[in-house]
Structure 1
């Protein structure tokens, strides 16, 4: 049974409205919509159809904002973030495989 409070510990729980999310990362709702249009993040929708963002999505959006603030076009910023994420995942897999290989030796 999931307790209500457990949701707030979940990085993927869509706890933040668009306005609050934009305020938290110091940007505009239009910027968040642009990230959605670029398919970097896909916010969940409330029953009323409003966008809701998770903490994980806000971290991604904050990274995109950082890159854009440095002069990177938004499309390029989104691609950079996707590649960073893929690299991080590949490194995790590599480390897991190395650990498994060591334990077999």
Structure 2
């Protein structure tokens, strides 16, 4: 299913409730609690998308596990944060790969260069110098 179709709001509240296996009043409660934000028609009627139905399924899973609605809301917020951070990480990885390709094209040989990563309180930083062999010198700093 295309992303546009997944997010197209087409279901009236009674149909969405039936598809989700809940009472229409439950959908209104979820909306008041901020768990669900259905689209509205010009006349103010709610319209639900397949994305909303997927969210309702996730809410049902979490409530079946014993979470109250406040807990469900927190889990959904955290899942959204994780998704955003993953997207940022993917972007950073692509930028890093692009930069390394540029450096390689300009004669830099990354060889065994490893990105700086925290190890306890110390961080190992690699300093590279340009040249025929591209010497890489590890430098460790605490802090």
Length-normalised TM-score, structure 1: 0.83
What is the count of residue pairs matched by the alignment?
Answer: 99
Q: Which structure is higher in helix share?
A: 1
Moved over 6 A (4+): none
Equivalent of 1:99, from 60, 74, 94?
94
Runs (5+) with no aligned partner, structure 2: 101-143
Counterpart of 2:77? Answer: 82
Cα pair 1:43 1:52 within 8 Å, conserved: yes
- State how 1:35-54 maps to structure 2 within 5 Å: 35-54=30-49
Cα pair 1:12 1:55 within 8 Å, conserved: yes
CA RMSD of aligned residues (A): 1.9
Length-normalised TM-score, structure 2: 0.63
Which one has the largest radius of gyration? 2
Q: Which structure is richer in relative contact order (CA contacts within 8 A, separation 6 or more)?
A: 1
Q: Which structure is higher in strand share?
A: 2
